[in-house]
Amino acid sequence: MPKARPLAALVLAAALAPSACAHDTVGVDTGAEAVCGNGKLEPGEECDVDSPGCVQCAVVPDWTCSTSTCAPICGDGVIASSADCSDAHRDSACDLTGYWAARETDYTRDSILGSIQTSSTWYLYHFVQTGDDFVIDQDIECGVHVTGSAVVDSTPGTLRGLIYQNRMDAQSPHGARHGTSRPASDGCAVRLDRWYRVRGATQAYLPADFTRRPPLTALTPLPSVDNPVTSTDFPAGATDEDGDGIPGVAFAITGFVNGIRNAAQRDWKEFATPAGQSVPAAGLELAIQGAFDLQENVLRVTACGGACALIASPANSASATYPGRLTLAFVGKTLGSDRVSRVVAGKPRDSLDADLTTCANVRLVLPHDGSVPSSPSQ
């Protein structure tokens, strides 16, 4: 039991006024003085439990105590049941406020072999939640990696060019992206609203109102060329975020074919816990089922030797039979805290170099998972 410590003495000072009654008396103080070490949380004590987190009835920094136990706080917003941070969990149940590394996993079918490709797209998110509703307060995009019949990666220019595109915070022309996280059955039900993104083409190719949820086929067709193998055109509406002088954003392809593919892409994605299911309350890693659709027009292929025609084939969404998912890994709550600074190199969008470092860390926190579900809709 923690060693008892004396409480500060109560000093009573009373000056007798000339009009004071001679028969005035001082009543007996019947209030019991707190006793540190008796296992009861009493007035003036922060804690009174037998724990290294409670010393002289004061909570030790980086610990949290209840009336019956104390636990170390492994990092900002994270609690563990022991000093080695085993059984770690967030200090809130369904409130997602804080920084999260995010990996979107999607499945596409290549147009040549018909095989399933597994795609990871990474983000850093900062959520702010009030009640059951949250918004994305800060975000950066951190690159793409695809495996399957071929390996596809964002080129360095594409990574830099897209890191601030398609923003989802309040500065977006579409407002901040919203979601909900509320108690459900054995955990929390989480939903993240549908969001549209475009790469390699202007924002004019996005719907004016995301909440109407239009299909991609109802939107203005993406920029295109007749033959990306021979074309030298720069079609109207195309952009060059990667700065290589070629329309569209560039992706490096390796595997059974090699080359560079520049494309205009457009997609939407949404995520929701299926009815009757939940994610763990206070979990440090959450997986939420998703749906998406994708359109891609290849605008140019280069450095492809005799395999240019294969690289010029766009990918098609396989979401109808292989639903995607959003995996969130909790980083922490406070920018600059020890836990958050291990991943986030600085306030997002303040420094490109810092944000590129953050992105590299995000990809380490949630490495690519190239597995494909063993059966459709699994």
CA atoms within 13 A on the CB side of 273: 23
- Asked if 39 contacts 29 with a C-beta cutoff of 8 angstroms, the reply is no
Alpha-carbon distance 187 to 94, whole Å? 8
pLDDT of 94: 98
- Asked if 301 contacts 229 with a C-beta cutoff of 8 angstroms, the reply is yes
216, amino acid identity: L
Under the banding of pLDDT at 50, 70 and 90, the label for residue 84 is low
What does the pLDDT average to over 309-328? 88
What does the pLDDT average to over 90-97? 96
pLDDT over 80 at 18, yes or no: no
pLDDT over 90 at 12, yes or no: no
What does the pLDDT average to over 209-222? 97
What does the pLDDT average to over 141-170? 96
Any idea of the CA torsion for 230, 233, 236, 237, to the nearest 10 degrees? 60
CA torsion sign, 164 to 165 to 171 to 177?
negative
Lookup result for tokens 């949404």: 270
Under the banding of pLDDT at 50, 70 and 90, the label for residue 101 is very high
Alpha-carbon distance 81 to 93, whole Å? 16
What does the pLDDT average to over 295-319? 90
CA atoms within 13 A on the CB side of 204: 10
Instruction: Enumerate the domain spans of the chain.
Output: 98-365
What DSSP line would sit under 21-90, residue for residue? -TT--PPP--PPPP-TTSS---TT-S--SSSTTEETTEEPTTEEE-SS-EEE--BTTEE-SSTT-TT-EE
pLDDT over 50 at 113, yes or no: yes
Global pTM value: 0.82
Closest CA to 110 of 373, 308, 369, 313: 313
Closest CA to 51 of 34, 63, 62, 41: 63
pLDDT over 80 at 153, yes or no: yes
Q: How confident is the model over 324-360, as pLDDT tens digits?
A: 999 999 999 999 888 999 999 999 999 999 999 999 9
